[in-house]
Amino acid sequence: MTGTPAPFTADDYRARMERAARAADAAGLAGVLVAPGPDLVWLTGYAPPAATERLTLLVLAAGQDPVLIVPALEAPDAEKAVGAPALELRDWIDGKDPYTTTAPLLDASGRFGVSDNAWALHLLGLQKELPGTSYVSLSEGLPMLRAVKDGAELDRLAAAGAAADATYEEILKVAFAGRRESDVAGDLADLLRHFGHEQVDFTVVGSGPNGASPHHEAGPRVIEHGDTVVLDFGGLKHGYGSDTSRTVHVGEPGAEEQRVHDVVRAAQQAAFEAVRPGIACQDVDRVARAHITEAGYGDRFIHRTGHGIGVTTHEPPYMIEGEKQLLVPGMCFSVEPGIYLPGRFGVRIEDIVTVTEDGGRRLNDTPREMAVVN
C-alpha cells in the first residue's frame, strides 16, 4: 500500500451527490443542505479555506441538479474543485441576501437534512426566509450517508491504517521513562507525518493515572519506570482517517496490569470476531462489554466500543447500545474496548475494522500484546 492513490473524479462526486439526493428522498426529506466541512469534501472535493460567515451551501434534491451557493469572491476557488463539473455554481455578492438567493432552490414546505456543522446563523437565515421549511441534522436524518465505503475509499483507509501501524512500531523504539507525555506525543505526530499523514488529529499519551481518562491530552507529566501508558493516535492520510490504540508498559508489567490488559485484549478479539454483515452495531458493543463485565470491570468500561471512520476520524456508525443499524460490507469502524481505573492506570486496544462479506478485516494489525518499552 504505497504511492498516491488515483484521485477521485468529477464522476465519483456526481455519483455521491446522486446517492445523497436519493437517500434523502427515500428518507422522506425534500433535500440535503451541505455546509463546508467533511460532508462537502466527500460530496464535491471542495474545502473552502476557512469556516466563513459568508454562506456556502450545497443544495441536493432528487430530480434537481446539484447547486452550490457560494460567495462571489470564493467562486474562482470553488470552480477548481474536482467535483465542480458536476455542479451548478450560483454566486452571491456582498450586499445581497444569500438566503433570498437560496430560497428559490428549496421546497418552501419541505423538511431538509442539514450537515451537522452548518452555522446556526445560516440555518436561522433560511428559516426566516422560508418559515414553512423544517430541518433535521444529517447525522440524525441520514446517519449512514457516508458509512459504506467503496473500494477506492477502503484502499485509502487501509493505507492510513498501515501508516499508523508503522508509527506504532517506531514509537516502541523511543525512550519513555524520564520524558514528558507531550514529548512522546510530539514523536507520534512526527511519525504520522513521516508515514504520509497530512493531518494529525490526536496523539493521546496517558501515562500512569492519566491513562484512566480515555481522552487525556498528552501533558507535562514525566513518564516513570513502572507506568502503564495508553497510546491513541490518528489523523488523515490522502483525506482518509487512521485511529489506533495500544497500551504499553515501561519495564515489566505487574500482575494486575497484565490481567487487565489480558481482559481488554480478549474483549477486543471477541468483538472483532463478532463482526459480520447482518449483526447490529450494538451487538459489537455487547460482545466486548459482556466480556469485560464477566471479568468484573463492567463499570470501568466507560465509553462506547467504537465509531465509524472515513473522511473524518469519528463519524457514524457508532458501536453503542441502542444502535440497531445492521452492519453492511464496506462499513469501517473502530473496535476499542478499554478499562479505566481512576488514580491508577488505563488500558485500551483499538483497531479499525472493515466489514467484509463473511466477517471483518482489521486495518490495524500490530501486535496487541502489552509491549514493554524503556
Query: For binding to Zn ion (CB under 5 A), which residues are involved?
Result: 226, 232, 243, 245, 254, 334, 350
| Angstrom distance (rounded) from CA 260 to CA 155 | 34
Write down the least CB distance from residue 307 to Zn ion, Å: 6
The SS3 of residue 139 is helix
- Pairing between β-strand 332-335 and β-strand 338-341 as defined by DSSP bridges: unpaired
Instruction: Identify which of 12, 13, 91, 26 has the alpha carbon closest to the alpha carbon of residue 54.
Output: 91
Write down the least CB distance from residue 254 to Zn ion, Å: 5
Strand partners, 307: 318
| Angstrom distance (rounded) from CA 35 to CA 29 | 17
Q: Which H helix or E strand runs over 373?
A: strand 371-373
* Conformational region of residue 251, where left means phi above 0, alpha means psi within -120 to 50, and beta covers everything else: left
Write down the least CB distance from residue 359 to Zn ion, Å: 21
Give every CB contact of residue 248 below 8 A, 6+ residues apart in sequence.
Answer: 172, 176, 228, 229, 231, 370, 371, 372, 373
Strand partners, 282: none
- Is the separation of the CB atoms in 360 and 272 below 8 Å? yes
Say how many CA atoms lie within 13 Å of 110 toward its Cβ: 23
Nearer to Zn ion, 16 or 300 (CB): 300
Instruction: Identify which of 46, 34, 42, 41 has the alpha carbon closest to the alpha carbon of residue 84.
Output: 46
Write down the least CB distance from residue 172 to Zn ion, Å: 17
C-alpha cell at 118: 452548518
Q: Give the number of other Cβ atoms within 10 Å of residue 69's Cβ.
A: 23
Write down the least CB distance from residue 204 to Zn ion, Å: 7
Nearer to Zn ion, 115 or 334 (CB): 334
Nearer to Zn ion, 256 or 321 (CB): 256
- Is the separation of the CB atoms in 263 and 292 below 8 Å? yes
